[in-house]
Amino acid sequence: MNKTLPFTFFKIHPKAILLEWQQEPNSDLLHELNCFKEKIKNHFKEFSQITQGYCSLLIQLKSNIENSNKINNELILLHKNINTNKSDKISKHWSIPVLYEKLFGLDLEYLSIELKLSTEKIISLHTKKTYNVYFIGFLPGFLYLEGLDSRLFFTRKKTPRLKIPKGAVAIGGKQTGIYPDQSPGGWQIIGNTPIKLFKPNDKKPCFASSGDTLSFYPVSFEQYTVILNSKNQSPYLKSKK
């Protein structure tokens, strides 16, 4: 393949194409992927799903791919014509309430010892940053966030827990994230959010989208309980365009 092209094209299934970018994840690439994804959706009417990664797009079609070169050339042309002007970017910022407390932050004291930071400092570093929402997986509603302060980088557990609580806010390697439902997991848990991250019956099951930004703010146990029991949690997300 021509090395000047921005991505590498792989046919990985009779109905699936993988596009990979050979660079480190960054905000410009994130915006490029989102713009390209929308362009592909408008062009290939027969697509069934597009799954985004840090540096990739997996395109699944409804029918078998008969001519890989033809589709590859179409994708190259589409990419040349995308508009990556960030002034046209439509995204939102979300502020997520978190209860950073020993009962919910199961690994907060452990991290404090290992990182040689007070729990107050860990909370401060975690809430001061603005994170980019890269994509959603491995569970429905699980947000992959970039932007964690390097002082909070910490390895995953050697032996994952079998049951991570729903809403757990955690650190894994260079990332932070929120578990949308109870599941196994090996990230270090520092708190819990009362916000429901995934509502399967809603028109848009997950409130956030790739390209949005997100930050965390601390709440008390009383505030956490109020939000948890609220029928309308939207005001507590503090969404801004």
195-211 per-position pLDDT tens digit: 998 888 787 778 888 88
SS3 track for the chain: CCCCCCCEEEEEECCEEEEECCCCCCHHHHHHHHHHHHHHHHHCCCEEEEEECCCEEEEEECCCCCCHHHHHHHHHHHHHCCCCCHHHCCCCEEEEEEECCCCCCCCHHHHHHHHCCCHHHHHHHHHHCCEEEEEECCCCCCEEEECCCHHHCECCCCCCEEEECCCEEEEEECEEEECCCCEEECCEEEEECCCCCCCCCCCCCCCCCCCCEEEEEECCHHHHHHHHCCCCCHHHHCCEC
**Average pLDDT of span 144-157:** 94
pLDDT for 1 equals 41
Q: Which CATH architecture group holds 8-88?
A: 2-Layer Sandwich (3.30)
Q: Is the pLDDT of residue 58 over 70?
A: yes
Position 4 confidence tier, pLDDT thresholds 50, 70, 90? low
Q: Is the pLDDT of residue 218 over 80?
A: yes
pLDDT for 66 equals 86
Q: Is the pLDDT of residue 138 over 90?
A: no
Query: How high does pLDDT run on average in the chain?
Result: 88
Q: Which CATH architecture group holds 93-237?
A: Beta Barrel (2.40)
Q: Is the pLDDT of residue 86 over 60?
A: no
pLDDT for 192 equals 98
Domain boundaries, the chain: 8-88, 93-237
**The domains spanning 8-88 and 93-237 adopt the same CATH topology:** no
Share of the chain above pLDDT 90, in %: 50
